[in-house]
Amino acid sequence: MIVLIDYDNVPKLERSRGITDLVTRVLDRIGPGPFLKPTRVRFRLYGGWYCGNGQTRVAQRLSTEILSFPKAIQVIDSTHTANPIVSVEISSSLACDPRRVLENTFRQNCLPSGLRCTPPPYLHCVNTSNCPVSNVYEFVEHEKCPEPFCRLNTAMTLVRDEQKLVDTMMVADLIYYARDQNQVLAVVTSDDDIWAGIKSVLLSGSSLFHIHTRPGRKTPHTYSKGAGANYTEISL
């Protein structure tokens, strides 16, 4: 089995418990059935692992954590016990081109174009005559500090972290792995953008476990209708 995890789509609390806990939880949700015969399970973690050509701090931490793998993880239910051998890797390249690292997948960008700030006075403000937030309007609207001669601008102060290629890498890898119809696949994400890859796997005749990262989350029926018996939905 190969398990593809959209790491940032996993709730922060689950990530904070460490990779071993996350891997164990995923296997527990699947259950021991697929692992009753001697089995190896390969986990691939997807995320913005490279800022330029250097690993991010999260990627460095995960690289250290996964040094404890491969190892056996016990999976049990009321009637069966299985002990698959689990390996974990950071997905820094495509499965079809493993030697070529995809860099610059984590970026810090300035505010998106089209962002607006409503002008003061603001409803419910308790000090409309001297509202400290009023300067935000000037700063965002003109993209620079309202103080004369100040060089500070929005690009220097307001940034957003952004990941690139993560969903497309997961889709590409799903399609690549689905060439082997004997390979059981699992994907851990609640992002609907991955559905094109899931559908491709199912059309190939392969089986897939879809483990949602949000409680109560379900794939929209417009996508999942006709998915067939090879598609299994689970919540993390």
Residues 6-17 pLDDT 10s:
999 999 999 999
- Mean of all residue pLDDT scores within the chain: 91
Percent of the chain with pLDDT over 70: 96
Are residue 138 and residue 228 in the same domain, yes or no? no
> What angle, rounded to 10 degrees, do the helices at 195-203 and 166-177 form?
0
The CATH number of the domain holding residue 41 is 3.40.50
Are residue 9 and residue 46 in the same domain, yes or no? yes
Q: Is the pLDDT of residue 109 over 80?
A: no
Percent of the chain with pLDDT over 90: 68
195-227 as b/e: b if 16+ CB within 10 A: bebbbbbbebebbbbbbbbeeeeebeeeebeeb
Mean pLDDT of 32-58: 94
Task: Specify the pairing of strand 71-72 against strand 85-90.
Answer: antiparallel
DSSP code of residue 10? S
Are residue 150 and residue 41 in the same domain, yes or no? no
Are residue 53 and residue 40 in the same domain, yes or no? yes
Domain that holds residue 98: 2-107+162-235
Radius of gyration of the chain from Cα atoms?
23
What is the rounded distance in angstroms from the CA atom of residue 142 to the CA atom of residue 161? 22
Cis peptide before 121 (omega within 30 of 0): yes
Domain boundary among 128, 157, 186: 157
